[in-house]
Structure 1
Amino acid sequence: MFRSLLPSRSKTRQTSSSSSSPTNTTTMSPVAQPVHPTFVGAIDQGTTSTRFIIFNNRGEVVAVHQIEFEQIYPNPGWHEHNPEELVSSVEQCIDGAVEAFEKQGHSRDQIKAVGITNQRETTVVWDKTTGKALHNAIVWTDTRSQDLVRRLKHRLGSKELTERCGLPLSTYPSASKLLWLLENVPEVKAAYDSGVLAFGTVDTWLAYKLNGGTAREIYVSDPSNASRTMFMNLETLDYDDELVDWFRLDREKIKFPKIVRSSDPEAYGSLASTALKGIKITGCLGDQSAALVGQKGFTPGQAKNTYGTGCFLLYNVGDKPVISTHGLLSTVAFDFGPGKRMYALEGSIAVAGSSVKFLVDNLGFIDSSSKLSALAETVEDNGGVTFVTAFSGLFAPYWIDDARGTLFGITAYTQRGHIARATLEATCFQTKAILDSMAKDSGKSLAELAVDGGMCNSDLIMQTQSDLIGIPVNRPAMRETTALGAAIAAGLAVGVWSDFKELDDVNVDGRTLFKPQIDAASADKQFERWEKAVQMSKGWAS
């Protein structure tokens, strides 16, 4: 039925190859290889785990190694990662995947380049003279800056920020996380006052450390990541002095990474260690942009939805940014050079797969996330239960920072299956809200939704999604589209693929199409109930 919505609860280390169990990687039907096949590696540094995946030039997974790392929750609403553990997990995954790759008879010199895809707004600060992190990374889901954001919203000019950077003031972008660190961590403030503070998102931190840190001083970010900080101008794809000044930061006291193209043969340097020492890093994309590239959403009007820890829907709007008036984010989709720079409208849902993990780990509903969909299928519907999974507030298109997780409609009739089903439906309802907003902003309705991520393994979720949005949902057989996007960015830079057209036949086999099975009136009635519950979830964090 489906394999798994999320990684397992315990800290794991897995290595697999194209002949391994599908628990560890997607297996593909054997295909005759060219005489001298070429491969591309992809670092996929996510919120709960790190992977290194090696793809052939058909976009098929050849080898993968995955490690989960520690999630740090110092206080309610706080979420941190150890920056050094992020780097070490990447290095271990590279070595593990290369070992599996070579056991198949391949040689590491057949890997032509490496790409990076990463969790985006997560913020890292370090001392640029020593290369040492000054605090744990503050994760994109973290809401500790809520009071700070409230103050910023009262500052003159706050309403004009979105026009320049595409993002609204919230706890989500990196800017508020950086300001919190400056206000609350003496070591960070001291480094800033001394002019030695380095700031970056996870892509910058990884590129810096994987190149050897202070030995090479590779200090870069791509536009799909830089556009998540609130410091980059969407039009110029460079830091906006007026934005930086508005946040009252001094450019002389803090080092921002240089913004370079998402696909570049030189800018990202090369690996200073691991089994792939010397191999160039030639591509970099924030995880959601990488998934859009992996789904080959290269042209305006194409969209994808990734059902991971959170849920992120990106809609390619073309070569000029569209500023949303309906609660969406405007962001850079990718920058592959002249004529190949695209923007996107984005709808971000803070809690998706993490709600499944919550039922398993916190409430003990069932012993593994992979069984939750089966539990939901033990009942015909949600039994009148609605679960607004606003553990970190509600993101797009609502942007309600003080909303919290709330269950409505519980009666003596309610069973575990009803709550399980309502949990899975919450992501589908929020996706519909985002699609409705995208139609208003773009003036066009989507004809089909491409999907990926752990939750899309569930046929129940995908059918529910199609029913609610009233259009087909297209699920690929090989769902490592985020990592594939990073591989594509890296491969385009070194000639593994010459252009977008050459990627037409990549990852097309075995797709499943889910079509609506209920009428529009029934879907609208369900959505009205959801919207009522959203309004009732406000104010719990005040």
Structure 2
Amino acid sequence: MGDKYIIGVDQGTQSTKIVIFNQRGEIINSVAEPLKPLISRQPGYAEHPDDDLWESLKIALRRIMKEFEGKREDIVGLGLCSIRCCRVFMRSDGNLFSPVMNWMDVRAYQKYEDDPDISYTCPPTGYLTYRLTGELKDTAANQFQWQFPIDLGTWQWSKDEEYFNSFNIPRKKLFELKMPGDILGYVNEKAAQETGIPAGIPVVATANDKAVEALGAGLIDSDVALISLGTYIASMVCGNENKPFAKNFWTNLSCIPYKYLYESNGIRIGMGLITWYKNIIGEEYAKKAKHEGYSVEDYLAKEAANVSAGSDGLLTIPDWLAPASQQYRKGIIIGFDRRHTRGHIYRSLLEGIAMTLKNHYDPMIEELGIKPKYIIISGGGSNSDLFMQIFADVFGVETVRNVVNGAASLGAAICVAVATGLYNGFEEAVRNMVRQKDKFLPNEKNYKIYRNINTGVYHELPKLVEEALKTMYNVFN
């Protein structure tokens, strides 16, 4: 059998990434189309301007189809993954009623207020499915219990009338739910003309972006953990049951039907913190890095690699984006003296991310009573050997990096492979399409340093500075 091709869509907060894979999970073509900056018309708002999610998807699909040199008839389907926890309001003609609310928008979590001009409400996956196929269908695994009346046991709309009505969303304004790996519809002629992809290919349901990433990273065993390095950073392990009363994690629907992901608290700005630091360093530094053949991140990592674990006492709290209910929280870098350089600051940012996440991860696995034998690191940050080693040293376990670290696009492709019969199930598809690249073992000396820093001061540092931050917030608000 010749190669079959799968289009995997991974739409995040900052860009729409499209990858064409073959049935072995090998990348044939890939493109990324930046999204426009979010608009904040008032504090707490974060909107995607115009029709940016659809427009960027169209542009990215047209670009990748121009690059694709295989046979179009060998494209078996498109797996659709988009940002979770966003909110879409649609008119009766399928167009947007208002700009899409990003997951950072406080209104995305507020109770729905009915409006006769709103015909449907859904996450971006439902909206994009409609634009591609004309079908009012969506994946069940991108509906969140704080936004929609989903039953996490049945993966369908709740039949509890009181619970359902508490969301104030009329049933007629919700989409039909399909399971990950089901066909949502087929690319219609209009969408084919706008995107350049073949009409008639199936559009396949995936899940929420973190769950799709987990599948694409190969997280299918309960003795393995995943750290997702995206705009939002979190750690995850998988399981077989909904755990609604957990104290130190929350239950997310998996990209495998009737399986679950347990997800720790996370870091809201995540890898955007690295983008922030790159931007404030300035163009001169970026030009110097380019002149010597480095990206800015690699050039900073080169400097940071010469800094000892603990950054000579420099500590970072990565709260660059405060939760809506705790607006006083701010990012902090503390402990400067004359020794500290760019490399110290960069390493401290990475260490702050790793230690903060460990302090969310440890209570989760303790409550679950598990001890994962290694941690998969996915996302663009895993390209950094330094960051991979810092995670191994902070967590004290082996960290693993895969060949394809943009795992959400691969997870979307795996769903297509299952839906179209290329493989008999998710586990078989993962075994054939996900491959490990390398691993990093913890340095015992560095592990002890990080453990002493964390238990000695870092674990309690957010509480120690809380009152000062509240006072400063009140001064300026």
Question: Which range, TM-score by smaller chain?
Answer: 0.7 to 0.9
Q: What is the SS of the residue equivalent to 2:252? A: strand
Q: Secondary structure at the match of 1:134?
A: coil
* Structure 2 residue aligned with 1:164: none
Residues of 2 paired with 1:391 and 1:95: CA distance? Answer: 35
Within the alignment, does 1:383 sit opposite 2:383 as a pair? no
Structure 2 counterpart of 1:36: 2
Query: Structure 1 CA distance, aligned partners of 2:30 and 2:275?
Result: 23
Residue equivalent to 1:60? 26
TM-score, length basis structure 2: 0.86
Q: Secondary structure at the match of 1:407?
A: strand
How far apart, CA to CA, are the structure 2 residues paired with 1:295 and 1:193?
Answer: 41
User: Shift of residue 41 of structure 1?
Assistant: 0.8
1:368-418 per-residue CA deviation (whole Å, 9 max, x = no partner) reads 4443323423433422121212122269xxx95642212222234433222
Q: Are 1:123 and 2:87 an aligned pair?
A: yes
Q: Which moved more, 1:489-498 or 1:296-305?
A: 296-305
User: How far did 1:285 drift?
Assistant: 1.9
Check conservation: 1:451, 1:475, Cα contact below 8 A.
Answer: yes
Shift in CA distance, 81/57, structure 1 to aligned 2, threshold 3 Å: same
Question: SS of the residue aligned with 2:337?
Answer: coil
C-alpha distance 204-58 of structure 1, shift in aligned 2 (>3 A): same
Aligned to 1:325: 246
- Give runs of aligned pairs for residues 195-210 of structure 1, distance below 5 A: 196-210=118-132
Please name the residue that 1:5 is paired with. Answer: none
Residue 491 of structure 1 aligns to which amino acid in structure 2?
A: A
| C-alpha spacing 1:465/1:126, structure 2 compared with 1 (3 Å) | same
Any conservation in 2 of the 1:123–1:199 contact (CA below 8 Å)?
Answer: yes
Q: CA distance change for structure 1 residues 496 and 244 in 2, over 3 Å: closer, same or farther? A: same
CA distance in 2, matches of 1:392, 1:311: 12
Q: Counterpart of 1:175?
A: 109
Say yes or no: does 1:514 pair with 2:441.
Answer: yes
Cα distance in structure 1, aligned partners of 2:146 and 2:208: 9
Selected match of 1:468 from 391, 394, 402: 394
Q: Please state if 1:107 is matched with 2:71.
A: yes
Q: 1:484 aligns with which of 392, 410, 422?
A: 410
Which stretch of the first structure deviates more once superposed, 461-470 or 384-393?
384-393
Partner of 2:260: 343
Quote the Cα distance in structure 2 between the aligned partners of 1:100 and 1:306: 29
1:393 matched to 2:357 = no
* Residue 55 (structure 1) shift: 0.4
Partner of 1:134 in structure 2?
97
Q: Please, which runs of 5 or more residues in structure 2 have no aligned partner?
A: 287-295
> Any residues of structure 2 matched to 1:155-234 within 5 Å, and which?
174-176=108-110, 179=112, 182=113, 192-194=114-116, 196-211=118-133, 216-227=134-145, 229=147, 231-234=149-152
**In the alignment, residue 36 of structure 2 is paired with which amino acid?**
E
Q: Which moved more, 1:369-378 or 1:424-433?
A: 369-378
Matched residues in 2 for 1:412 and 1:311: separation?
31
CA distance in 1, matches of 2:12, 2:128: 12
Q: Which residue of 2 aligns with 1:251?
A: 170
Q: Deviations over 1:70-95 (max 9, x none)?
A: 11242555432136121121122122
CA distance in 2 between counterparts of 1:78 and 1:237 reads 30
Rounded Cα–Cα distance in structure 2 between residues aligned with 1:474 and 1:201 = 32
Larger displacement relative to structure 2 (50-59 or 380-389)? 380-389
Alpha carbons 1:224, 1:262 under 8 Å: kept: no
What corresponds to 1:297 in structure 2? 219
| Paired positions, count | 448
What does 1:450-465 correspond to in 2, within 5 Å? 450-465=376-391
SS in 2 for 1:330: strand
1:239 paired with 2:173, answer no
RMSD: 2.5
In structure 2, the CA distance between the partners of 1:531 and 1:400, relative to structure 1 (3 Å rule), is: farther
Larger helix proportion, structure 1 or 2? 2
Give structure 1 stretches of 5+ with no counterpart: 1-34, 146-173, 183-191
SS at match of 2:251: strand
Greater Cα offset, 380-389 or 479-488: 380-389
CA contact (8 A) 1:175 1:230 kept: no
Pick from 196, 200, 203 the counterpart of residue 278 of structure 1: 200
Say if 1:280 and 1:67 are closer, same or farther in 2 by CA, change over 3 A: same
Shift of 1:468: 1.0
Secondary structure of the equivalent of 1:524?
helix
Q: Distance in 1 between matches of 2:323 and 2:169?
A: 32
275-284 vs 446-455, greater mean Cα deviation: 275-284
Cα deviation for residue 114 of structure 1 reads 0.6
Give the whole-Å Cα distance in 2 for the aligned partners of 1:431 and 1:376.
Answer: 20
Query: Is 1:447 the counterpart of 2:373 in the alignment?
Result: yes
Is the contact between residue 331 and residue 346 of structure 1 (CA under 8 Å) also seen in structure 2? yes
Q: Percent identity?
A: 19
Report the residue type matching 1:530 in the other structure: Y
Tell me, yes or no, if the aligned pair for 2:300 and 2:342 is still in contact at 8 Å: no
TM-score by length of 1: 0.76
